[in-house]
Amino acid sequence: MSLPPKLWFQWQRLKKKFSSSFGSQDSAPASSVRMCPHCRALIDRDAKVCPLCGESAGPVRARGGGGTPGRLMGVIPIPTTASSVMVAINLALYAVEWYMTQNAGGASALGGISNQVLLRLGAKAPYILTGQWWRLVTAMFLHVGLFHIGMNMWCLVDLGPEVESLFNAAKFTVLYLVTGVVGFLLSLWWSPFGLSAGASGAIMGLIGILIGASFHHGHLGKEYRSQLWRWVIYIAIFSIFFNVDNAAHIGGLVSGFILGYLVPEGEPATRPSENLWNTLALLSVLVIAGSFALMALQIG
């Protein structure tokens, strides 16, 4: 006798958790899920058929060669398109930061970036209050050292594809920018004269988005939500030992939660909504590009 779809799906998840506890090589990570294109349920990323509605789940978007789909060597998550762009921008800006710090004679063994370089390249600073609003955007792509950017890019590479799978590239771009900016706005209100930079506000936004979206997925969403809260706990523990911008973290998390709960998942259901999100994504890209252009003019 076949099990009901929901019970069957829970059984599959239990089997995967059991096998992973014994080091099975073919077990998928607990957060490796995607959304069924028909019923919008969270399903296993490798599922060919949705166990809830019985429809074909369609092929998984290719993000690499052999091994586990979406994983480099079956272990390291590979970001999807919009996530890849965000990672590339962060890495490129860090290379510029490091080069400028080297030229200024202030480089450290751990790749630390000087405050003067951070200030010149657009970190969050009191100058925002005098009209340099673009710092709210450029600060999202700057980092203070190797460990800082390493931690943030690890989180972005792991969480970005999850958000992009549940929503789409256009929505991801908008949500990433909005949560990052909101994070630095709260940071500016909390500490108007402090110098701050990093992608962690937007990354906390991604966690908030996934937590908010999980409330639409019943029992499975509850399980997924419990995994996501671990990220929040890890980052909170990290903030105890390092000097981090907690206000930006809180702003990103809360705004992400609200947006994740309110914004419909998946591809837009109608042509007008698709045009709207594509327009918002284009505006987001223009805002990011324009902010970097203003930063470059300020340097010159």
| Ordered DSSP codes for 139-171 | GGG--SSHHHHHHHHHHHHHHHHHHHHHS-HHH
Q: How crowded is residue 240: how many other Cβ atoms within 10 Å of its Cβ?
A: 7
**Residue 251 near residue 201 (C-beta atoms within 8 A):** yes
Distance of CA 14 to the CA centre of its chain: 27
Kindly state the percentage of the chain with pLDDT values over 70.
76
What confidence score (pLDDT) does residue 30 get?
A: 39
User: Which of 32, 148, 249, 255 is an active site residue?
Assistant: 249
Q: pLDDT band at 167, cuts 50/70/90?
A: very high
The structural domains of the chain, with segments of one domain joined by +, span: 29-78, 80-299
And the tokens for 118?
Answer: 């951070």
What confidence score (pLDDT) does residue 61 get?
A: 44
- What pTM does this model have? 0.75
And the tokens for 48?
Answer: 């060919």
And the tokens for 30?
Answer: 């607990």
**Residue 184 near residue 140 (C-beta atoms within 8 A):** yes
Question: Does residue 219 carry a catalytic annotation?
Answer: no
User: Which of 200, 214, 284, 291 is an active site residue?
Assistant: 200
**Residue 90 near residue 153 (C-beta atoms within 8 A):** yes
Q: What is 80-299's CATH number?
A: 1.20.1540.10
* DSSP code at position 134: T
Q: pLDDT band at 234, cuts 50/70/90?
A: confident
And the tokens for 196?
Answer: 């701050």
Q: Which of 76-80, 85-89, 152-156, 276-280 has the lowest mean pLDDT?
A: 76-80
Residue of 283, 292, 279, 297 lying closest to 136 (CA atoms): 292
Q: Which of 14-23, 236-245, 280-289 has the highest mean pLDDT?
A: 280-289
What confidence score (pLDDT) does residue 71 get?
A: 55
Average pLDDT over every residue of 49-61:
67
Q: How crowded is residue 222: how many other Cβ atoms within 10 Å of its Cβ?
A: 11
Q: Which of 85-94, 131-140, 210-219 has the lowest mean pLDDT?
A: 210-219
**Residue 64 near residue 71 (C-beta atoms within 8 A):** yes
Mean pLDDT across the chain, nearest whole number? Answer: 81
Q: How far apart are the first and last CA of the chain?
A: 73
> For residues 245 and 239, what is the distance between their CA atoms, to the nearest angstrom?
8
> For residues 57 and 42, what is the distance between their CA atoms, to the nearest angstrom?
11
What confidence score (pLDDT) does residue 43 get?
A: 74
Give yes or no for residue 70 having a pLDDT over 80: no
Which residues does 222 contact at the CB level (< 8 Å), separation at least 6?
214
Question: Does residue 217 carry a catalytic annotation?
Answer: no
Tell me the pLDDT tens digit for each residue of 244-291. Answer: 889 999 999 999 999 999 999 988 889 999 999 999 999 999 999 999
**Residue 189 near residue 178 (C-beta atoms within 8 A):** no
